[in-house]
Structure 1
Amino acid sequence: MKTLRVASYNIRKAIGTDRRRSPERVLEVLNEIDADLVALQEADRRFGVRTAAIPPRLLESHSAYKPVPLNVQTDSMGWHGNAILVRKEAEVNFFDVLHLPCLEPRGATVAEVSLNGIALRAFGMHLDLSGLWRRRQAAAVIHSAAQGAAMPTVLMGDLNEWSADRGCLADFARHYSFAPCGRSFHARRPVARLDRIMHCARLHVVECGVHESAAARRASDHLPIWAELALT
């Protein structure tokens, strides 16, 4: 059975729970997870030129990943902090950025990738703190995912939703299934499932979870989540 391992990780601009900025620790965690595709949130610094939180040379020399080339800002890895990493041998067939309705600057990213004999479309997102705007943003992502050719689709990110099944979660649930990964926030003592992985009916979850290594508890205030997916 052919599978792909995907992951979602809010790296908090590489600032750990000890308030130290260390992209090396983030890469250590990514190497531990060993995913084929990773959706990152807060992958760029928030102010100024918004440079990538993980320097490109460091990513190239200390990981198995390359960023999907969004071609938006020269020094940034992502779009409003959202980035997608794939294995260096993966073929990126399409990529784009999504402009989301927002109270504060928000966006999402999408990439179509071929790896391990599977062609997959992946969305990465970081939704608003406001419940009303989260639902509007969820509607925009759902609409975008419904466009174009039908293909296996996974949606990942920090949804910022504290409820168990209401708000934007209920909106997404009408179209996608949730991988039961577990609680990812706060990294030192996880109490909430803010980070989510969702998939269409053409995919099923073989295995999933929250990555709770010692390095992950230090590298960010969110723990990364992951899912092993196979074609239905």
Structure 2
Amino acid sequence: MNMTHNIHSRPLRIASYNIRKARGLDGRRDPGRIVDVINALDADIIALQEADRRLGDRPAAIPKEMITRATDFDLVPLAQNDVSLGWHGNAILVRRGCQVASTSRIGLPGVEPRGAVAVKLTTGLTVVGVHLGLLRQSRRKQLHRIVGHLGKADNVVVIGDMNEWANARGFEPLAGAFTLHSPGRSFHAARPVAALDRVALSRDLVLSDAGVAQGAQARQASDHLPIWADVLSA
């Protein structure tokens, strides 16, 4: 896919995947399996959660050279060191050839240390990758912070593991500026019962299609299934 197209000319596929540090349901850490699932998404942009290990300097769960060698994606430089893929475990991959205009890290309040990452493309689209907290009170504060950081920006996609089991409660800070979508049940991968992974679009964007990847590898590679959303300008 040629990412030099303007966002108005065709749908862009934005995906999200909590890779659980590349540890599958069989207990094995297998970054190659994660890469296979990523490639099968046929996405333009992918937000990853739990992309780094938790201990020490938070080394990458997928070797950077594997992403370069085995995918058509570039890793957006969001990490604060040389060993992590992202920040607070949040990383963003963009289809090779995509032009990134700017990046930012958004510190989030809450009981646990959390952060979101934002990438603005030269097409005008901004993608915010999130992994919200385990407590609803924290999640509300985190969404308030993200919305405040974005201000009145248009062409914005907020996507990721939002950790909310309810259909609407907890998402109040998005009301008015964003439309929330649930592509489907994405957790637990072995038996999906909850739509924890979701996407919110600013009012000038529309969803043309969305879904949950449910292939055999996706059902083994992590405890979350990837979601995807095809996005157009309104």
State whether TM-score is above 0.5.
Answer: yes
Cα shift readout 1:77-131 (whole Å, capped 9, x = no counterpart): 11100011101110010001111112111000000013xxx42101011111111
> Does residue 141 of structure 2 align to residue 139 of structure 1?
no
2 CA distance for matches of 1:208 and 1:80? 26
Identity value in percent: 46
1 CA distance for matches of 2:140 and 2:96? 34
Structure 1 vs Structure 2 CA RMSD: 1.2
TM score, norm. by length of structure 2: 0.93
2 CA distance for matches of 1:166 and 1:154? 20
The residue type paired with residue 69 of structure 2 is S
TM score, norm. by length of structure 1: 0.94
Which residue does the alignment assign to 2:128? 123
Please list every run of 5 or more consecutive structure 1 residues that lacks an aligned counterpart in the other structure.
none
2 CA distance for matches of 1:46 and 1:53? 10
> Does residue 159 of structure 2 align to residue 156 of structure 1?
yes
Which residue does the alignment assign to 1:220? 222
Cα shift readout 1:189-232 (whole Å, capped 9, x = no counterpart): 10001111110111111110111011100110000000111111
1 CA distance for matches of 2:48 and 2:19? 7
Shift of 1:179: 2.6
Please list every run of 5 or more consecutive structure 2 residues that lacks an aligned counterpart in the other structure.
1-8
How many equivalent residue pairs?
226
Superposition pairs of residues 59-70 of structure 1, within 5 angstroms: 59-70=67-78
Cα shift readout 1:19-73 (whole Å, capped 9, x = no counterpart): 1100111110111101000111000001112111110110000001111111412
Runs of 4+ off more than 6 Å:
none
2 CA distance for matches of 1:71 and 1:166? 32
Alpha-carbon contact 1:179-1:227 (below 8 Å) kept: no
